[in-house]
Amino acid sequence: MPTIQPNNTITIALSVKDRAASAAWYKKHLGFEELHSIDEAGWTELATNTPGVTLGLGDAEEINFGNTMPVFGVDNFDQARNALEKAGVKFDGDTIFVEGMVKVAGFYDLDGNGLMIAEDLSA
């Protein structure tokens, strides 16, 4: 039995220097559609052509190669985080909460690869 069971959504998060320019690039070249852009959170999210998979663009002053981070959707964030922590999974700081939008937190696999879990609060 797995520690948590992610739902059928995944967001691939990328750090970008210019969200508007990057969003336009993904729209033009890959046909993605913008779902929302939230300046206060430094975040733009695009629908990909794959059901349940979105591309998230986050503001960054400096871009490092290998900055892609899968964000696994969960239905109950607090329960999922607690279960992972109980199982000894290392988290990267506190939960980020954006009212009416999302609860999200980063954690690491055995090799130190960054992953995240997120609960969509917009519905």
Query: How does pLDDT run across 57-70, given as a tens digit for each residue?
Result: 999 888 776 778 88
The domain total for the chain is: 1
Determine the Cα–Cα distance for residues 110 and 91; give it in Å rounded to an integer: 12
Confidence category of residue 1, pLDDT binned at 50, 70, 90: confident
Does residue 97 form part of some domain? yes
CATH number assigned to the domain comprising residue 71: 3.10.180.10
Query: How does pLDDT run across 73-118, given as a tens digit for each residue?
Result: 999 999 999 999 999 999 999 999 999 999 999 998 877 878 899 9
Give percent of the chain with pLDDT exceeding 90. Answer: 76
Query: Mean pLDDT over residues 11-31, rounded?
Result: 92
Give percent of the chain with pLDDT exceeding 70. Answer: 98
Length of the chain: 123
Confidence category of residue 42, pLDDT binned at 50, 70, 90: very high
Name which residue leads in pLDDT, 9 or 63. 9
Look up tokens 């663009």; give the residue: 57
Does residue 2 form part of some domain? no
The residues, ordered by sequence, that sit 6+ positions from 59 with a Cβ below 8 Å of its Cβ are 15, 16, 19, 42, 43
Does residue 86 form part of some domain? yes
Rounded to 5 degrees, φ, ψ at 6 are -60, 155
Is 0.75 surpassed by the pTM of this model? yes
Q: What is the pLDDT of residue 35?
A: 96
The residues, ordered by sequence, that sit 6+ positions from 20 with a Cβ below 8 Å of its Cβ are 37, 44
C-beta of residue 74 within 8 angstroms of C-beta of residue 60: no
Q: Which helix (H) or strand (E) holds 19?
A: helix 19-30
The residue segments making up the domain with residue 77 are 10-120
Rounded to 5 degrees, φ, ψ at 24 are -60, -40
